[in-house]
Structure 1
């Protein structure tokens, strides 16, 4: 049995074996196998397959040797570089914050912390912001609730009524809006002219007028009557009298009008204006807490040219009753 050899086990040089039987003695010179251009002979595995050429290797930047071929080392090196950059950014940020705090620029408008969100806006009425309710409401002296007899003026908008006086008083047919912070409008009441055309087309008046002002944010809130009264008096003073005026305080007291807490202010304003005979005016202001968001006001003014009507500065406020 002839032994079968793998064709891959043939030697590089062809060997010719002589036949077993007699045969013509013809011999041929063995030709060496020809290698294809670009290939080396001697390996069967290279026949017909291009040789594997390894990629050129470049040394890493800065020299050193061969860490780029190791993915673990390469990843560690990249992670190290990124970590160093992050640390540098944090350090720079901390330095900026410290410099801002040390130089006092942290809280300046437009500074590092200049864009803080603003708190909710205060939507309370102007008078409620200026005069918040007292923690402990003051005790009001007792007062009658009966309505005095006789003609009365009712101000439905303000929520009060008060005594109506006879001649020379007549119904008020105008609307005065003060130029102060509260912008109170006085449109109901009585008046008479004390000096006509004292300054061109202007008349000077004695008045008994009522109005109201938002003073709270919910029903039943107790008002700081002293603070509210002082603010109303200041607004009247700058709105209806010459700028160069001085005040003479007469009285300021808490009382009850028609069973409701109230405050009564009384003072005299002194002034001088070209063309005006009056040099002073008696003023009384009654402020009434009706247990509603709107506080009622009664404003009485008597020029010194008609002092015979001064008692009305007390009589009119004392006649006030809630509707």
Structure 2
């Protein structure tokens, strides 16, 4: 009777480490063709103390592919990524610095692009000084000395710095201020007027003939040079929109430089044509005298005579000619 072949009698084979799980005994060729079985108490691949020591499995390692340091292509790609990321970071920091500098108006380099000086204060000049700055070449308007004051009653406007002829009935001293609604907002406080058409619109408004004086800041600070042409045109535009019906038409009669009371002056004379429901007057004669008194304020005399009272048209010439500085 032949004994079963011992498991240790088989020749040595390569050891494979795998998860231990129950498995059928592998077939083996033994003596006399008998089947080889696994000895009780052992799994496949295990050996006794007297055999080959057990192989310890290596620790788990997360594979990262081939060694990048040994691959020049991968190494160069990694370096370029680092350089690109650094460049983007530097550009971002630079843009942030520029933005902060622009928002805070900080100078970064003397004389450089961002060396912005602090903005000056807003333009606080009078409206007329902004619209009519002093001419670059001062006009030849010397003070020719004070002219003799004509005899007779006079209207004196100390605030404006002029006096002029005072007229009798129907003219009366001004009872209320006249304020234009144009750009200059000039207020006329001194003068004479009379009603030519009472309650012409059925709402209690009266129409007047007027002789009004006022003044307007026409120069900057202590500046003494005035552009009388520009100032006169602006005043004429303001009275048209302030005291006359909309859509009025201007007929220019005179526009010249002259001397009034020994001071440089500008005279404008025109007729305004209009058509206002309820108003009998269809036109009005207007004269505006602008006088340079040698100070930042220019004096104004404004005369208006409706065509319903043409007998007073002479006042549009006589009153300006009577102007004298006070």
Q: TM-score, normalised by structure 1?
A: 0.66
When residues 219 and 59 of structure 1 are mapped into structure 2, their CA distance, relative to the original with a 3 A threshold, is same
Paired residue for 1:85?
85
Distance in 1 (alpha carbons) for counterparts of 2:192 and 2:316: 13
Contact residue 140 and residue 254 of structure 1 kept, 8 A: no
Matches within 5 A, 1:64-213: 64=68, 84-89=84-89, 120-140=121-141, 145-200=147-202, 201-213=204-216
2:299 pairs with 1:318: no
Paired residue for 2:9?
none
Distance in 2 (alpha carbons) for counterparts of 1:196 and 1:65: 106
Distance in 2 (alpha carbons) for counterparts of 1:150 and 1:86: 93
Please identify, of 85-94 and 245-254, the stretch whose mean Cα deviation from structure 2 is larger.
Answer: 85-94
Paired residue for 2:290?
287
2:224 pairs with 1:221: yes
Distance in 2 (alpha carbons) for counterparts of 1:301 and 1:143: 29
Q: Deviations over 1:53-92 (max 9, x none)?
A: xxxxx999973469xxxxxxxxxxx998765434235668
Please identify, of 218-227 and 199-208, the stretch whose mean Cα deviation from structure 2 is larger.
Answer: 218-227
Paired residue for 2:269?
266
Q: How far did residue 219 of structure 1 move?
A: 2.6
Partner SS, residue 198 of structure 2: strand
2:235 pairs with 1:232: yes
Q: How far did residue 255 of structure 1 move?
A: 1.0
Count of residue pairs brought into register by the alignment: 239
Q: How far did residue 146 of structure 1 move?
A: 1.8
When residues 92 and 254 of structure 1 are mapped into structure 2, their CA distance, relative to the original with a 3 A threshold, is same
Q: How far did residue 118 of structure 1 move?
A: 5.8
RMSD: 3.2
Q: How far did residue 134 of structure 1 move?
A: 0.8
Contact residue 143 and residue 256 of structure 1 kept, 8 A: no
Q: Structure 1 stretches of 5 or more lacking a match?
A: 1-57, 67-77, 96-112
When residues 220 and 268 of structure 1 are mapped into structure 2, their CA distance, relative to the original with a 3 A threshold, is same
Paired residue for 2:302?
299
Q: Structure 2 stretches of 5 or more lacking a match?
A: 1-61, 71-77, 96-113
Contact residue 175 and residue 185 of structure 1 kept, 8 A: yes
Matches within 5 A, 1:24-35: none
Q: TM-score, normalised by structure 2?
A: 0.65
